[in-house]
């Protein structure tokens, strides 16, 4: 039974896990920012740029004090994996639960009565923080390719 499971496991190299992690983070960040920018473009107030500035400032804080720790933890976990890990192990099982919670919260907020210009601050903050944090995955991936080429 165990050998059957090993044959069916979608095993990939660590490079693929790093690429999937970075790609997922950047794609979700782009999606959140596209919602926010659409809402701000429809907002008829004259202070749209202030919502962006608050979101941008919050993004820098979230990126530095929150998401980089998560990225570093994931990078450490991926680097310790032996052989060819399962393609779905680019996130830990706890992260899958966190993603479900965050998606549910995002849908709930989007359908709430909170004015969209205020929500745009939250979406810009989280989205831009995800984009900024995804860069670390790609930097590690590129440095691994370079070190393999120079070896």
Alpha-carbon gap, residue 131 to 129, rounded angstroms:
5
The pLDDT value given to residue 93: 86
Sign of the Cα pseudo-torsion (44, 46, 47, 49, in order): positive
- How much of the chain exceeds pLDDT 70, in percent? 95
Query: Which of 131, 146, 126 lies closest to 59, judged by CA?
Result: 126
Q: What whole-number distance in Å separates Cα of residue 25 and Cα of residue 54?
A: 21
Tokens 């680097």 identify what position? 79
One-character DSSP codes across 17-63: HHHHHHHHHHHHHHHHHHHHHHHHHH--STTHHHHHHHHHHHHHHHI
| Model confidence band, residue 6 (pLDDT cutoffs 50, 70, 90) | low
Task: Please check the confidence at residue 40 and state whether its pLDDT lies above 70.
Answer: yes
Whole-angstrom Cα distance, residue 60 to residue 129?
6
Which DSSP category does 80 fall into?
A: T
* pLDDT given at position 147: 84
pLDDT tier for residue 80 given thresholds of 50, 70 and 90? very high
Is the pLDDT score of 128 beyond 70? yes
Q: Is the pLDDT of residue 2 over 70?
A: no
């Amino acid at each position: 039974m165990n050998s059957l499971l090993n044959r069916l496991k979608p095993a990939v190299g660590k490079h693929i896990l790093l690429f999937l992690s970075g790609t997922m983070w950047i794609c979700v960040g782009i999606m959140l920012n596209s919602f926010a920018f659409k809402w701000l473009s429809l907002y008829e107030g004259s202070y749209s740029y202030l919502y962006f500035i608050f979101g941008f400032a919050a993004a820098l804080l979230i990126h530095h004090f929150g998401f980089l720790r998560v990225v570093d933890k994931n990078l450490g976990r991926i680097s310790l994996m032996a052989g060819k890990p399962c393609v779905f192990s680019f996130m830990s099982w706890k992260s899958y639960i966190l993603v479900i919670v965050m998606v549910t919260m995002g849908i709930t907020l989007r359908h709430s009565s909170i004015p969209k210009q205020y929500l745009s601050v939250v979406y810009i903050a989280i989205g831009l923080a995800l984009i900024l944090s995804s860069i670390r995955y790609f930097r590690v991936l590129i440095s691994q390719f370079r070190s393999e080429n120079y070896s």
